[in-house]
Amino acid sequence: MDILLARKELTDKPKKTTLTKLKEVANKDKIFYFDKENSHKNMMALVESFENDGYNVYFREVKYGLADDDYMYEVHIM
């Protein structure tokens, strides 16, 4: 499954990564930010996959502007 990481600038294109690569770095990095172009279904599949591996996962949408589409996904893996 391909997942889009959050953009660093609004004009940038989001970078792709895979669930496998995220699981490799989950031991070092615990907080991830994902782009709004990810489907909610894919994000729930990501959360479920980490929970099946024994992690506790905190998932939320972070609003950074006043418009409805100014948000990103935040995932904490513990």
Structure tokens at 68: 């409805």
* Coil/strand/helix, residue 54: coil
In tens, the pLDDT along 27-58 reads: 888 899 999 999 999 999 999 999 999 999 99
Nearest to 22 by CA among 38, 8, 11: 38
Cα–Cα distance list, 71 to 4, 5, 24, 49 (Å)? 14, 13, 26, 23
Domain boundaries, the chain: 2-77
pLDDT at site 10: 84
58 touches 30 (CB < 8 A): no
Q: What percent of the chain has pLDDT above 70?
A: 100
Statement: residue 74 has pLDDT above 90: yes
